[in-house]
Chains A and B, each alone.
Chain A
Amino acid sequence: MSGLSWLPLAPFVTSLGFGLLLLWPAGRKVRVALSFVGTLATLAFAAGLLLATADGTVLVSELGGWRAPFGIVMTADRLAAWMSLLAALSALLAVWQAAADPDPVREKYHLFALMQFLFAGVQLSFLTGDLFNLFVAFEVMLVASYALTVLGSTREQLREGFRYIVMNLAASSLLVVSCGLAYGVLGTLNFAHLAQRAATLGPNATVTSVAVLLLIVFAAKGALFPLGFWLPGTYPALPPAVGTFFAAVLTKVGVYALIRVFTTVFTQEPELPHSLLLLLGSVTMLYGAFGMVSQREWRPILSFTVIGSVGYLAFGLGVGTPEAVRASVAYLAVSVVVTTALFAIATVAERATGTRLVRARGMLEFLPLLAACFLLCALTVAGLPPSGGYVAKYALVRAGLAQGSPLALLAVVSALVGSLVTLYAMLNVWRGFFWGKHPTWLPVYRVSRPLHAAAYAASALVAGLTLFAGPIFAQAGATAAELSIPQRYIRGVLGDQPVVIPPAPTGKETRP
Chain B
Amino acid sequence: MEALFSILIGLLVAAGVFLLLSRKIVRVVLGLSFIGYAGNLAILTVAGLRQDNPPLLTLPGPYMDPLPQALILTAIVIGFATTALLLTVALRAYQVSGHDNVAAFGDNLARDPHTGEGRSADPEHQGPDLPDLIHSDPEEPERPGGQP
Contacts and interface: CB of A to CB of B under 8 A. Distances in A.
Contacts of B40: 176
B134 A356 contact: yes
Contacts of A230: none
Contacts of A142: 82
A420 B42 CA distance: 46
B92 A153 contact: yes
B132 A156 contact: yes
B105 A162 contact: yes
A147 B89 CA distance: 9
B10 interface: no
B127 interface: yes
A139 B78 contact: yes
Interface string B123-146: 000011111111111000000000
Interface in A153-192: 153-156, 158-159, 161-163, 165-166, 169-170, 172-174, 176-177, 179-181, 183-185, 189
Given A146-B89, A176-B40, A511 B60 contact: yes
Interface residues of A, number: 53
A506 B96 contact: no
Contacts of A139: 78, 82
Contact of A184 (B25, B46, B75): B46
A189 B46 CA distance: 14
Contact of A105 (B68, B89, B128, B132): B128
Interface in B7-24: 20
A177 B127 CA distance: 38
A169 B32 contact: yes
B92 A158 contact: yes
A180 B38 CA distance: 12
A109 B27 CA distance: 29
Q: Which of A136, A155, A184, A510 has the most CB of B within 10 A?
A: A155
Interface string B74-108: 11001101100110011011001100000001001
Categorize the interface residue count of chain B: 35 or more
Contact of A239 (B68, B74, B82, B133): B133
A293 interface: no
A161 B105 CA distance: 11
Interface of B is mostly: helix
A152 B89 CA distance: 11
Given A152-B128, A170-B35, A177-B39, A132 B71 contact: yes
B89 A155 contact: no
A508 interface: yes
Contacts of A165: 82, 85-86, 89
Given A105-B128, A143-B82, A510 B58 contact: yes
B86 A169 contact: yes
A357 B139 CA distance: 12
B137 A357 contact: yes
A237 interface: yes
Interface of B: 20, 25, 28, 32, 35-36, 38-40, 42-44, 46-48, 53, 57-63, 67-68, 71, 74-75, 78-79, 81-82, 85-86, 89-90, 92-93, 96-97, 105, 108-110, 127-137
Given A507-B59, A507-B61, 17 more contacts: A105-B130, A155-B132, A156-B109, A162-B89, A166-B86, A170-B20, A170-B32, A173-B36, A173-B38, A176-B36, A176-B71, A183-B67, A185-B46, A356-B134, A504-B63, A506-B60, A507-B57
20 contacts: A105-B128, A147-B85, A150-B92, A152-B128, A155-B132, A165-B85, A166-B32, A173-B35, A173-B38, A173-B79, A177-B39, A180-B43, A180-B68, A184-B43, A350-B134, A355-B135, A356-B135, A505-B57, A507-B59, A509-B57
